[in-house]
Amino acid sequence: MRQIESKKLILASHNAGKLKEIRQLMEPYGFDVASVADLDLPEPEENGTTFEANAYTKALAAAEATGQIALSDDSGLCVEALEGQPGVYTADWAEKDDGSGRDFGLAMQKVETALQEKGASAPDQRRGYFCAVLCLCWPDGHAEYFRGEAHGQLVWPPRGELGFGYDPVFQPDGHARTFGEMSAEEKHSWTPGQGEGLSHRARAFAKFAEACLG
């Protein structure tokens, strides 16, 4: 495992929700963190078929463009009754038909419609999980990967206005509220040295922190 030798890190994401969450998780470690959005760098085309491939594409582009170590996140919602969809195409399901941007209310409705078409109404028919893969990449192309998953069920209608993306329809195992009803602290439920956390991103980050941040 290659170690981080600098306190500077580039976050390879333009997603405001992801950037906020990763910055919150990084805060205890005293890193000087900038994002590709801060630096006005373009988004690379993501055409991978796995979370790992897309995470690497983003991290490598950021590392090569800045000459610094970059950390990326590729994540998505995998629904069992839908054979793992939307999966790596989670953000694509939110694309508006007119190409004017993303609407996650529309995306959540698409998931619900697909579940209804499958006759998936009972809780055990509506199982799914969020997956997050963090990729830490150096300018020379070397990369390390950290994967986290949070399992639960899909609820309808959406509940809560916190979080982002599909959070309002995802109720994690062992909880009566959705991610959309939880504060960031509750959703992650993780601090350094305190287990694996609750959210998929916190679980991936816990592995990253243990391996690379000490």
pLDDT score, position 2:
84
pLDDT score, position 117:
97
The architecture CATH gives domain 8-213: Alpha-Beta Complex (3.90)
Q: Say how far residue 16 (Cα) sits from the centre of its chain.
A: 11
Q: Per residue in 151-193, pLDDT tens?
A: 999 999 999 999 899 999 999 999 999 999 999 889 988 887 6
Three-state DSSP at 167 gives helix
Q: What share of the chain in percent tops pLDDT 70?
A: 99
Question: How large is the C-alpha radius of gyration of the chain?
Answer: 17
**Non-local CB neighbours of 25 within 8 Å, separated by 6+ positions:** 188, 190, 201, 202, 205, 209
- Which of 38, 40, 73, 74 is catalytic? The answer is 74
Q: What sections of the chain are H helices per DSSP?
A: 16-26, 51-66, 104-117, 184-188, 200-208
Rounded alpha-carbon distances, angstroms, from residue 26 to 1, 52, 61, 117, 198: 19, 21, 21, 41, 16
pLDDT score, position 189:
86
Higher confidence at residue 108 or residue 16? 108
Domain spans of the chain? 8-213
Q: What share of the chain in percent tops pLDDT 90?
A: 76
Burial class (CB in 10 A: 0-12, 13-18, 19+), 64: middle
74 is catalytic: yes
Rounded alpha-carbon distances, angstroms, from residue 132 to 60, 65, 67, 99, 182: 17, 24, 25, 26, 18
- Check the CA dihedral 45-146-4-6 and report its sign: positive
Task: Measure the CA angle with vertex 170, ends 193 and 98; round to 5°.
Answer: 120
pLDDT score, position 203:
95
Q: Per residue in 91-116, pLDDT tens?
A: 999 999 888 889 999 999 999 999 99
CA dihedral 157, 160, 161, 162 (to 10 degrees): -130
pLDDT score, position 214:
65
